Amino acid sequence: MDMNLTAEDLEFQNEVRSFLDENLTEHLRNGLALTPGVFVEPDIGHEWHSILYKKGWITHGWPAEDGGMGWTPMQTYLYEKEVALAGAPKPAPVSLALIGPVLCKYGSPAQKERFLPRIRSGEDFWCQGYSEPASGSDLASLSMRAVLEGEKYILNGSKIWTTHAQHANWIFCLVRTDTTAKKQAGITFLLVPMDQPGIQVTPILSMSGDHEINQVFFDNAESLLEYRVGDEGQGWEIAKFLLQNERGGSCFAPKLLVQISNLEKHANTSSADDDAMKNDSDFMTRLAKLKLRAHALEFTELRIQADIANGRPAGPQTSLTKLISSNLTQDVQSLHNELFAYEGLQLPLERPLYNDNAPKPIGHTAGQASLAGYLNGRAATIYGGSDQVQKNIIAKRILNL
């Protein structure tokens, strides 16, 4: 793999940097930095979404024929990297990076015409209906039923850990349409409007007190036949495509390297220089090891980009980046909490932490969201496929064990 950037890549990188310098406000940076959840708060995400949409850079991961930028894999990676280095929020990832690419690949012409423009503009905000109370890591065992009656499906059951369902006006769901076939073969992919009497969203508060996830109940809720993506029984194939995007559809390493760099900066400062963590050899050794792991992850991600550039799909190696990045994220958060010590043990329940009414931090602002971020990050090795699931995929599909 050639690691040297072409003249065109360097020109593009400079264009991205100039755009970020001109458009990324301190308010947006603070919004991301002081959001302890997995996803940025919707108001911050939507504000940045509008800026990117106006620029025409909102759907860089989509095919050009469906409204994508037509960037090369390297340009896409450079964009993601510069965004991470600048501290920019990530707008509506469920809409843009999950359901959008699914519709580009599997959606009918009518579905593309209806939904893709509204995803690009931000008019529609999507959530994901995959996991169920008894079906998480073994997703194929899901039991939520959808029965076709005439031109509509009748849905009964529930989905859980549904991020930002309280803000969404659409949910895409894996549902069971056939109870007699092999469990993977009886699953169908449906688009469901949230604004209807048969749907109830119940909040689930995380250990940090954040309301980011929910349980969604379906009681004779309806979805039109025209909202089915693909054929009946094709849902598992579509789900695997989507999960590959979720696990490795973007770059994790640059964001982690920024977090590690920030840790280094904080470790080098203290009210009394003798007490600075830079003088703690054990802490600095662990920090250096985290940086080496993050750089190794970046090279793995670049190899995947090289595969894509050569016409090979991302494939099961995305499970490798998911496994590594999830564990590395948790280790970075642990060290972050250790660095800020008592300052990092703050757990204000007010949200958001970046508005005028936010509680004042005890000590450094970066410590205010430290514990909440650590607690929310415990789920990193579960959501999007647990560590155990990723290891099984790697063993079976990469190592052929």
Q: Is 11 a catalytic residue?
A: no
Sign of the C-alpha dihedral, residues 188, 193, 198, 200?
positive
Say which of 41, 80, 132, 246 is annotated catalytic.
246
Residues with Cβ < 8 Å from 140, sequence gap 6 or more?
A: 183, 184, 187, 236
76, with CB counted inside 10 A (0-12, 13-18, 19+), is buried
Residue with token string 């958001």: 352
Contacts of 331-334 spanning 24+ positions with Cβ under 8 A: 331/290, 331/293, 332/256, 332/259, 332/260, 332/263, 332/290, 333/370, 333/373, 333/374, 333/377, 334/374
Distance from C-alpha of 304 to C-alpha of 248, rounded to nearest angstrom: 9
User: φ and ψ at 261, to 5 degrees?
Assistant: -60, -40
* Residues that are catalytic: 246
